Amino acid sequence: KPLKVKEIGKDSEIEIKPASDGPVLAYVFKTMADPYIGKLSIFRIFSGTIKTNGSYYLPGTKSSHKFTNLFALQGKEQSDLHEATCGDIAAVSKIMDISNDDTICNADKLIGMEKTTYPEPTLPRAILPVSKGDEEKIGMGLSRIIEEDPTLRTELNLEVHQNIVWGMGDLHLSVVKENLKEKFDIDVTMSIPEVAYKETIKKDAKTEYKYKKQSGGRGQYGHVFIELKPLKCGEGFKFEDSIFGGSIPKNYIPSVEKGIRESLIAGALAGFPVADIYVNLYDGSFHTVDSSDMAFKIAASMAFKKGMSEASPVILEPVMELEITIPEKYMGDIIGDINSKRGKIITIIPAENKIQIIKATAPQSEAFNYSVDLKSITHGRGMFKQKFSHYEELPAHLAQTLIDERNKDKKE
């Protein structure tokens, strides 16, 4: 049966008939790391013949590569091939640029097959090395494993300073853990990731702080008046200098801003980063001898911390947008579960064959394990995907529990 493929660089499709003397068309469906041979790329030939030492084009890299080593595979054994033809499954080694889903073709006949759509991984885990110093090895090992398994994903979460690996479930991630040990000799632990909480304020506040220090010789003096206002979610941090009349010399203003920006790293409630806040420097005073950049930086930092505590500070939590696809008979259980997770149902869309699509939001802290919960409720018949939606205020009782836990950790 002829196969429809795209012509590279054109919008048209053409038909390729399966024949050993036709144009080369092969599809890479798996890559793997062999401890002796190195990277192996396994492909199926749909048309043409691929020969040892022949040069073939990879549209994904927009370059040609020489296929020096061709292999036939039987279990874990490889045997050399001189050529592989239409209908064969073969492997080529040591071509670093080749990846899953790549098409192999002739340079004079640029054609490409449609790429496979893989399911999005839904279960995140923070990954840490058992031995200090293995952090870089983990990154290298995971990148090799992901080459073999495109349903895995990794990310470095800079807000919580954790490496996160996403998989399809607990069993999937346990295989990753075993592969890191067996193939790369790296012992790791996996845990539920930390939540990237933030802090902000709910009302306006005005405050001042005078930093004055005298201990023999030249002293330190910096004095600032600042105004704090809440911003809309996602607007970040804004600083304004509205000093008029020279109450603070212009050369000290950058130090004031720097002191405030450095204070954003840890908020007044639980030490989480501060977001969505406007600060206006509107007055102050200075000393012709004792004032310095450091003095104004300290004064600004202390004024900001004081102002935050007076401006009704709150903790914000990330909220995820969920799209859940389930058989109709599980609707009640799923809605009840979402409500128990402090979630909100946005809409319910009926689909074919008694399938329902639920769109909802839920706090990230409640959604980390949702793939496990969904599988349990629907006996493996439910699917979902998630993405970040927005931040919203953490309920007061949960915020206080979180603050108490953070304070306890600091004491320990």
- Are the folds of 199-311 and 316-394 the same? no
Q: Cα-atom radius of gyration of the chain, to the nearest Å?
A: 30
What pLDDT does 9 receive? 75
Angle, nearest 10°, between helix axes 135-148 and 170-184?
A: 110
What pLDDT does 178 receive? 94
Select 123-191's CATH number: 3.30.70.870, 2.60.40.3500, 3.40.190.10, 3.20.20.140.
Answer: 3.30.70.870
- Which H/E stretch holds residue 180? helix 170-184
Taking alpha carbons only, the member of 169, 241, 229, 234 closest to residue 205 is 229
- In the numeric block, which tokens belong to residue 370? 């949702």
The dotted CATH code for 199-311 is 3.30.230.10
What pLDDT does 34 receive? 74
pLDDT in tens, the chain (412 residues): 788 888 887 778 888 899 999 999 999 999 887 777 778 899 999 999 999 999 999 988 888 999 998 999 888 788 889 999 999 999 999 888 888 889 999 988 888 888 888 888 999 999 999 988 888 889 888 988 888 888 999 998 888 889 999 999 999 999 999 999 988 899 999 999 999 999 999 999 999 999 998 776 678 999 999 999 999 988 999 999 999 888 999 999 999 999 999 999 999 899 999 999 999 999 999 998 889 999 999 999 999 999 999 999 999 999 999 999 999 999 999 999 999 999 999 999 999 999 999 999 999 999 999 999 999 999 999 999 999 999 999 999 999 999 999 888 776 6
| Fold type of domain 316-394 | Alpha-Beta Plaits (3.30.70)
The residues near 35 (Cβ < 8 Å, ≥ 6 apart) are 183
- Distance, in Å, from the CA atom of 391 to the CA atom of 195, rounded to the nearest integer, reads 12
CB atoms within 10 A of CB 24: 23
- In the numeric block, which tokens belong to residue 263? 């204070």
The residues near 227 (Cβ < 8 Å, ≥ 6 apart) are 204, 205, 206, 279, 280, 282
- Distance, in Å, from the CA atom of 136 to the CA atom of 385, rounded to the nearest integer, reads 30
| Fold type of domain 3-112 | Elongation Factor Tu (Ef-tu); domain 3 (2.40.30)
Instruction: State pTM to two decimals.
Output: 0.80
- Distance, in Å, from the CA atom of 352 to the CA atom of 129, rounded to the nearest integer, reads 46
- Distance, in Å, from the CA atom of 190 to the CA atom of 203, rounded to the nearest integer, reads 40
Strand, helix or coil for residue 193 = coil
Q: Cβ distance 345 to 360 under 8 Å?
A: yes
- Distance, in Å, from the CA atom of 394 to the CA atom of 33, rounded to the nearest integer, reads 45
Q: Cβ distance 277 to 228 under 8 Å?
A: yes
Residue 371: exposure state from Cβ atoms within 10 A (0-12, 13-18, ≥19) = buried
How is the chain split into domains, by residue range?
A: 3-112, 123-191, 199-311, 316-394
Strand, helix or coil for residue 64 = strand
What pLDDT does 209 receive? 96
Give CB contacts under 8 A, 24+ apart, made by 1-8.
3/46, 3/47, 3/113, 5/111, 5/112, 5/113, 6/111, 6/112, 6/113, 6/114, 7/110, 7/111, 8/59, 8/110, 8/111, 8/112
CB atoms within 10 A of CB 351: 11
What pLDDT does 111 receive? 87
What pLDDT does 216 receive? 67
What pLDDT does 283 receive? 95
Taking alpha carbons only, the member of 390, 233, 232 closest to residue 320 is 390
